[in-house]
Structure 1
Amino acid sequence: MVRVKKEKALLSTTDLGFESEGVLNPAAVKEGNTVHLLYRAVRKGNFSSIGYCKLDGPLTIADRMISPLLSPEYDYERHGMEDPRIVKIDDTYYLSYVAFDGTDALGAVATSTDLIHFDKKGIIVPQLKCSEFDLLAKRNNADIIARYRDDYNSPEVIIMDKDVVFFPRRVNGKLMFLHRIKPDIQLVAVNSLDELTEDFWEGYVSDLKDNIVLTPKNLHELNYVGAGCPPVETECGWLVIYHGVQHFDNGYHYSACAALFDLDDPRKEIARLPYPLFVPDQPYELAGDVDNVCFPTGTALFDDTLYIYYGAGDDVIACASVILKELVDELLAFDIRKR
């Protein structure tokens, strides 16, 4: 079993109004010895904005803004900008987040070249009512509609599509990102964001079975899985740290999980750990705004150590670490190509 070190809880709430109710689920991007954390900051009433903290090295706070870096501006995000992730591709940062209007929670993107000024591109995932989803998805396997409609009763409700996470470089010339329509993780590959039209998504959902990259398999992810941190490129494949969810009598438990995918074709799963990478076991993970939560959303590699930043208890930001080679070697022990 791979060794994981729980480093500490890094950030918690402050008396500042915009983050007085919770700080969680940080995006992370490393540049030199600096780690930029862009995190979900929650104010009273469960309204979220994006806060900013700069780390010197993986664990030392160097600076923290006293006001939001980004706040809701448009109707589609009027109740909050939640759960950010970030990558830098060439000279552009892609900040993905959940746009919540009070009813619908959908993946959105903003781009930047300086981490100061952001150009909001809006919602980039499909905005399909359940009835529309059913018409398109019926071309897939017979169980697709039943599995994907488990959380929805009304045909007029829009299917939630969250956890948009970009790959940190183009793959075969394509922009690629993971996203999550429960209970699976899916993958999108396009030349540019402009291709994500209504027609594109209709074709995509019609062939949804071909776009699923990860589906629940193990007990700790039995109910559903969701994209977590941006994929980490290794010689052996794309390392994807995601969250797995299992329901217990006291509610859902969120664990950090790990899988490996082919470098040239990330739709091909190479291996996944049959056990969680780490689970809620610290006081700040076991009890919070939501109990029993480890929700990984960002990483930073320092030498041979991968630092994993995550939301703990939906209340604070914490960090765990693992030796990257040890994790990849452990994953390769479960290589499905050798079966």
Structure 2
Amino acid sequence: MLNIKKEGILLSKTELSFENESVLNPAIMQEGGTVHLFYRAVRVGNYSTIGYCKLDGPLKVVQRNNTPILIPCSEDASNGIEDPRIVKIDDIYYITYTSFNGINALGTLVTSTDLIHFKNHGIIVPQITYDEFKRLAECTNLVNLKYFRHVRHFKRDKKVFIWDKDVIFFPRRIGGKLAFLHRIRPGIQLVLIENLQDLTTEFWNNYFLNFNEHIILDPIESIHESSFIGGGCPPIETEKGWLLIYHGVYDTSEGYIYSAAAALLDLENPTKVIARLPYPLISPELEYEKNGIVDNVIFPTGTALFDDELYIYYGAADKCIACASVSLSSLLEELSLHLVKN
């Protein structure tokens, strides 16, 4: 059995107005012994921006900004920007987050070459209604029927799109293409493109006509992810495959319970799942994970590797940022015991 060490709370809310309700779900960029955190900062009223702090090593905070590093800059994000992730491809940082306008929650991209100046590329996921999605995805008759149940129905004055969150880029091109994960409930899907300009309406129409081919992971029968799953940390390249740490959710009479889970994807064909843990990697057990803004939540969003120790950073109960660690080699060995039959 894996030995998971819970390192405790790393960041909590402050009295600063932009983060006086909670801090959670950080994007992690490791550069040598330095770890950069770009975290979701929530002010009272549930309005989110992105804060920044720097670590010396995996756990020691040495700098924390007193203003947000990223703020909403469009009507699509009028109610805040949430849950960032970050990777570096060649010399460019790709930072993704969810734009929320009170109704629609959609994956958005900004890029940077220096983590000081940022270029906003806007929403990069499809802006598609449920009826449009259903019409296209039903054509193959192969899609998990849960995709037609996990939909929020609103009667509002704004156009309602299917929520498409957890946009996470792979940290290198695969077969010469940019690759990113995204999440339309209840599973995790993959996009491969030559460049961002490929993401046209025609591209997405063809994508949904063959939607089943793009689903990497759907929920399995194991109770920890029986309701739905979603992206977590950017994939980690190892000699055995892409290590994907994601979140799994199941419903109880007291609400959803979120845990961290793990799978291994083929390096050159990440639609092929090599292995998958049948049990949660990290579950909400401690007080700060079980009680908060949203109870019973572990939401992993970034990692850092020091020697063989993998540090997994996560939002705990939507209230604070915590960290757990595990031996990378031990995790890969454990995954090798749970190969997936393709």
Which band: TM-score by shorter chain?
over 0.9
Question: 2:150 corresponds to which residue?
Answer: 150
Question: 2:291 corresponds to which residue?
Answer: 287
SS in 2 for 1:106: strand
Q: Does 1:226 align with 2:220?
A: no
Structure 1 residue 193: deviation in Å?
A: 1.1
Give the aligned residue type for 2:321: I
Distance across 2 between alignment mates of 1:141 and 1:300: 41
Question: 2:19 corresponds to which residue?
Answer: 19
Give the aligned residue type for 1:212: I
Q: Does 1:315 align with 2:323?
A: no
TM alignment of 1:102-251, pairs within 5 A: 102-141=102-141, 143-144=143-144, 147-153=147-153, 157-217=160-220, 218-251=222-255
Distance across 2 between alignment mates of 1:251 and 1:85: 26
| TM-score normalised by L of structure 1 | 0.97
Distance across 2 between alignment mates of 1:74 and 1:37: 23
Give the aligned residue type for 2:223: L
Structure 1 residue 7: deviation in Å?
A: 0.4
Structure 1 residue 282: deviation in Å?
A: 1.0
**Contact residue 148 and residue 181 of structure 1 kept, 8 A:** no
**Contact residue 89 and residue 172 of structure 2 kept, 8 A:** yes
Distance across 1 between alignment mates of 2:61 and 2:226: 36
SS in 1 for 2:219: coil
Give the aligned residue type for 1:99: S
Relative to structure 1, the CA distance from residue 295 to residue 233 in structure 2 (aligned partners, 3 Å threshold; closer, same or farther) is same
Relative to structure 1, the CA distance from residue 145 to residue 153 in structure 2 (aligned partners, 3 Å threshold; closer, same or farther) is farther
Consecutive unaligned residues of structure 2, counting only runs of 5 or more, are none
SS in 1 for 2:325: strand
SS in 2 for 1:194: helix
Question: What are the superposed Cα offsets for residues 184-243 of structure 1, whole Å, 9 maximum, x if unpaired?
Answer: 000000111111111111110111000000010021100000000000011000000000
Give the aligned residue type for 2:176: G
SS in 2 for 1:138: helix
**Contact residue 309 and residue 317 of structure 1 kept, 8 A:** yes
Off by >2 Å, runs of 4+ in structure 1: 140-157
What is the RMSD computed on CA atoms of the aligned residues? Answer: 1.3
Consecutive unaligned residues of structure 1, counting only runs of 5 or more, are none
Give the aligned residue type for 1:114: D
Distance across 1 between alignment mates of 2:23 and 2:331: 28
**Contact residue 134 and residue 145 of structure 1 kept, 8 A:** no
Question: 1:29 corresponds to which residue?
Answer: 29
Give the aligned residue type for 1:63: Q
Q: Does 1:305 align with 2:305?
A: no
**Contact residue 138 and residue 144 of structure 1 kept, 8 A:** no
Structure 1 residue 160: deviation in Å?
A: 0.4
| TM-score normalised by L of structure 2 | 0.96
The percent of aligned pairs where both chains have the same amino acid is 57
Structure 1 residue 36: deviation in Å?
A: 0.3
Distance across 2 between alignment mates of 1:330 and 1:86: 27
Structure 1 residue 143: deviation in Å?
A: 4.9
Give the aligned residue type for 2:123: I
Structure 1 residue 148: deviation in Å?
A: 3.2
**Contact residue 265 and residue 273 of structure 2 kept, 8 A:** yes
SS in 2 for 1:37: strand
Distance across 2 between alignment mates of 1:327 and 1:16: 38
Distance across 2 between alignment mates of 1:248 and 1:151: 19
Distance across 2 between alignment mates of 1:140 and 1:329: 37
Distance across 2 between alignment mates of 1:207 and 1:70: 35
Distance across 2 between alignment mates of 1:8 and 1:172: 39
Question: 2:280 corresponds to which residue?
Answer: 276
- Which deviates the most, 287-296 or 134-143? 134-143
Structure 1 residue 142: deviation in Å?
A: 5.2
Relative to structure 1, the CA distance from residue 111 to residue 143 in structure 2 (aligned partners, 3 Å threshold; closer, same or farther) is closer
Relative to structure 1, the CA distance from residue 281 to residue 145 in structure 2 (aligned partners, 3 Å threshold; closer, same or farther) is closer
